[in-house]
Amino acid sequence: MVHHSGSIQSFKQQKGMNISKSEMVKETSLKPSRRSLPCLAQSYTYSQSLSQSTSLFQSNESESQAPTSVTSVSVDKAAQVSAEESKKDSVLNCSFTDLSDFCLALGKDKDYVDESEHANYDRSRLIRDSVIKDKPEPKPKLLSKNDMNYIASSGLLFKDGKKRIDYILVYRKSNIQYDRRNTFEKNLRAEGLMLEKEPAVANSDIMFIKIHIPWDTLCKYAERLNIRMPFRKKCYFTDRRSKSMGRMKKNLKKIMKWMPQNPMALDKSAFPDLEESECYTGPFSRARIHHFIINNKDTFFSNATRSRIVYHVLQRTKYENGISKVGICKLINNGAYEAAFPPHEGAYKSRQPIKTHGPQNNRHLLYERWARWGMWYKHQPLDLIRRYFGEKIGLYFAWLGWYTGMLIPAAIVGLCVFFYGLFTMNGSQVSQEICAAAEVFMCPLCDKNCSLQRLNDSCIYAKVTYLFDNGGTVFFAIFMAIWATVFLEFWKRRRSILTYAWDLIEWEEEEETLRPQFEAKYYTVERVNPITGKPEPHQPFSDKITRLLISVSGIFFMISLVITAVFAVVVYRLVVMEQFASFKWSFIKQHWQFATSAAGVCINFVIIMMLNVAYEKIAYLLTNLEYPRTESEWENSFALKMFLFQFVNLNSSIFYIAFFLGRFVGHPGNYNKLFNRWRLEECHPSGCLIDLCLQMGVIMFLKQIWNNFMELGYPLIQNWWSRHKIKRGIQDASLPQWENDWNLQPMNIHGLMDEYLEMVLQFGFTTIFVAAFPLAPLLALLNNIIEIRLDAYKFVTQWRRPLPARATDIGIWYGILEGIGILAVITNAFVIAITSDYIPRLVYEYKYGPCADRLENGDNCLKGYVNNSLSFFDLSELGIGKSGYCRYRDYRGPPWSSKPYEFTLQYWHILAARLAFIIVFEHLVFGIKSFIAFLIPDVPQDLYDRIRREKYLVQEMMYEAELEHLQQQRKKCGQPVHHEWP
């Protein structure tokens, strides 16, 4: 004991020096027991963490009771409250000095020094250095200087230079809600938090409250929130096959070194060694703190974890007497505080190049290796994104990157279909017949100002229609339906790999705490939670159903409002149709149908943008009316409402054009009219598909431009104006980091909802009507390449740091994507069967064309199709003073037949073929989708085996740790030591 203490004292004299790996001494392995593990002797970090944990708790008391500056309530009282709570929460029977004796008895190496006693520490001494590797490779340090010194220089510490800032509160001095703030801050100190106030440099009315959470409080809430922390280095079960595979992988890596480097791969030399997943983790417990690897108390809990714990306290602290008077969110809504956010780790730019001097902090590294536009072709550093922004944002960027990568084959196939139509356009029999029909006159498409039109006037429209309506359309629709299934199934595999690597396998939604609003509303009604066995507030079933019915009624009301807006656009098109036909400008007069469609699309887009503003507020009110139980339930409910609103808003006009435009117009001489006044709009002589393509292309293009501007352009302008006002008010003054963050734009109050919603709606555009617009995947791919870097730049540079939240998947969005995939199959079947001319051409080719009775080489089976698809009408019946016949698109009998203007037998043949095609197409594609989903497992087999193996090893390790702890207790008390449980 004396020798060990002397070695520690001699080492303390060498401050600032790092321990090299060669100086580390291996510990004596634990004595094997009946259930000893294969890797137990290899992991010597266990006993090392015991000594560290004892010194951490011993050295913590002085820090936690250190006074802070600018506090209105004495810190001594807060220290007393913290000490009382620590006594109540402590469940350890042995003193920490006894634990240190326990470490010495286990063969603790003599040169070990507890780093927590020093202010200076190096991030290179993390978990990865606690295990000696056979061939260590030099890794670059994340920071080129001491961590705490850099944090202090960046303004991330209290004035004493020791306590780091974990959260920032902002309020205005002119705000009169003093009592609420004072009560809230007093209660925060009672919870164990430390506060320090400091006025803003640029604005004398702004006051910042810096929050630090000490070690005792961290441990208490980490245990309460079941936060998983590392406790043992991982060791993997290997057999002969896996060993041989390992040798093959090593040989393959040697061969790959001689190959050219993938330009999309990241340069990992600049990244820190992210090996948190190389340790087993378990729920943190102060009673079992000797289990965990605690090299340094300042880095044991990450910045993201510290921020989450502080936010948990802020959300559940009262500011007035009353059940519902709780939470920082309500204080911000009431105006008592202006904002609450975790600070960034520093500036995202540096005067020194990153290649020579290294990154200054994680934010700087993310900007240089992820957020810059020059990195658009590189893979994303998902592990670093997750470390800085949390698992929830990390999963969003992982999903967005996966979706963008999967769009590449879809865009290539869609481009091939488009070029196939482009190269075969001039050879199309239908286009040739339309362009050559100079003597065929079409019936007037409106009553007053429209005249007879030659069929060959629509030659250009016929060729453009052929680009999107050719032989490859059916193949591409089937391909995209299968693509959507493959994309979703392989995303589930990718998600399982990420959740394993990010230690989210054991994290369940049940671990989420209740929303403060839910607790305040239903605190009088309690029910025992079947998971935890503890009583908690409960929402009665009758109350839940009533609120749900009101919410559903509001949703249907908004959907009906959207349909009303679409109907208004349809009426507008009917009204202006004849106005454009009599326009003085010859170009508009000649292409009045195109002008009508383009004007209707633009007006529809404006209405869409205006309604979106109302949707967000109404969805927010309806969701709060339901009182969801947890934050994830609130987000899922809000996201579903926003998706329904915006999906109907965006696609209702497209559905009208695809399935209703020109279907119920009647025929010349007997047209159907709206309100007996306006004649219903007809399709162009070349078909309705060109209108559908125009509607999709314009809305998709304009919406992406608008979204990109609102996501990046608007925050850039806001931040520029804030910096301009600061420079105008003060000169040559450097602002602290928290004030720089205050001048940035806050993240959307709804989190990632807008980001997911934009991409999911785009996924709908890409799949639902892809048979009518094969270039949609290409446009989506180009947009997403920009979107990834745009979102990255926005998160890193233009937004305040969001709260690092945890999540295991993308939430309700996966179910919405599956629903869109099913709807896409049905919609594409109807588009091909009803909107396009694929089925009429097919029926003519095999039933009424020249190839109906014989199949001879060289015959053009579509010869005469255009003439066959046009019916005759007697012009003398129109009363316009002209005689002869005009043609119109329909299958009706001619005027000289026994049943003039009645549907012919060919019409019924085509209708039956369309219905048969829809049934066959849907069953075929759904069968293929189900078979592919069955073949692709959600979790890779090797990952499944590894997860099961690790669960077994964790149980064994916990057994061994408790057994060794019990042995030392017996040895200390002079009782006989057993290697098995008594």
What are the per-10-residue average pLDDT scores of the chain (982 residues)? 39 35 33 35 37 40 38 39 42 35 33 30 31 37 43 68 90 89 92 91 88 92 85 58 60 69 70 61 80 81 89 89 77 89 88 80 89 86 89 92 94 90 81 84 75 80 81 86 90 90 71 74 80 78 89 88 83 74 62 71 79 82 87 86 87 83 78 76 73 76 74 71 64 74 82 86 87 86 90 89 87 91 90 86 86 64 86 81 82 87 90 93 90 87 80 74 74 66 42
Give the C-alpha separation, 168 to 209, whole Å: 6
- Residues contacting residue 956 through CB under 8 Å, at least 6 positions apart: 35, 37
CA distance 690 to 772: 9
Interatomic CA distance for residues 131 and 134, integer angstroms? 10
List, in order, residues 6 or more apart from 115 with CB less than 8 Å away: 52, 121, 125, 295, 296
290 touches 404 (CB < 8 A): no
- CA separation for the pair 500, 522 (Å, rounded): 36
Q: Distance between terminal CA atoms of the chain?
A: 29
Residues facing residue 887 across a β-bridge? 442, 872
> Measured between alpha carbons, how far is 590 from 453 in angstroms, rounded to an integer?
10
Determine the Cα–Cα distance for residues 666 and 671; give it in Å rounded to an integer.
5
What is the rounded distance in angstroms from the CA atom of residue 921 to the CA atom of residue 913? 12
DSSP conformational letter for 797: I
Q: How many CB atoms lie within 10 A of CB 923?
A: 12
Tokens (6 digits) for 1:
């004991």
The answer to whether 960 and 36 have CB atoms below 8 angstroms apart is yes
Ordered alpha helix ranges (H), 709-734: 714-729
pTM, full prediction: 0.76
Nearest CA to 369 among 205, 140, 604?
140
Gap between the Cα atoms of 684 and 673, Å rounded: 18
pLDDT at residue number 246 = 61
SS3 content of the chain, % helix, strand, coil (to 5): 60, 5, 35
Q: Other C-beta atoms within 10 Å of 834: how many?
A: 18
Report in angstroms the alpha-carbon separations of 865 from 263, 844, 870, 909.
Answer: 52, 7, 9, 15
Which residue type does 440 have? V
Nearest to 579 by CA among 671, 678, 656: 678
Considering only CA atoms, which of 487, 438, 483, 397 is closest in space to residue 770? 483
Amino acid, res. 976:
P
Cα gap 262→260, rounded to integer Å? 6
Q: What is the pLDDT of residue 58?
A: 40
What pLDDT score was predicted for residue 86?
44
Q: Identify which of 721, 766, 915, 895 has the alpha carbon closest to the alpha carbon of residue 834.
A: 915
**Angle at CA 179, nearest 5°, toward 175 and 181?**
70
Distance in angstroms (rounded) separating the CA atoms of residues 841 and 847: 10
The residue type found at 105 is A
Hey, is 874 helix, strand or coil? strand
pLDDT score recorded for residue 413:
92
Give the pLDDT confidence score for residue 729 in this predicted structure: 54
**Which residues have C-beta within 8 Å of that of residue 349, sequence separation ≥ 6?**
364, 367
Q: 10 Å Cβ neighbour count for 821?
A: 22
> Would you list the domain boundaries of the chain?
153-242+295-343, 944-981
Determine the residue type at 683: C
Q: For residues 507 and 523, what is the distance between their CA atoms, to the nearest angstrom? A: 26
For residues 198 and 208, give the distance between their C-alpha atoms in angstroms, rounded to a whole number.
Answer: 5
Q: What count of Cα atoms within 13 Å lies in the side-chain half-sphere of residue 956?
A: 17
Q: For Cα atoms 898, 899, 901, give the angle at the middle one, nearest 5 degrees.
A: 135
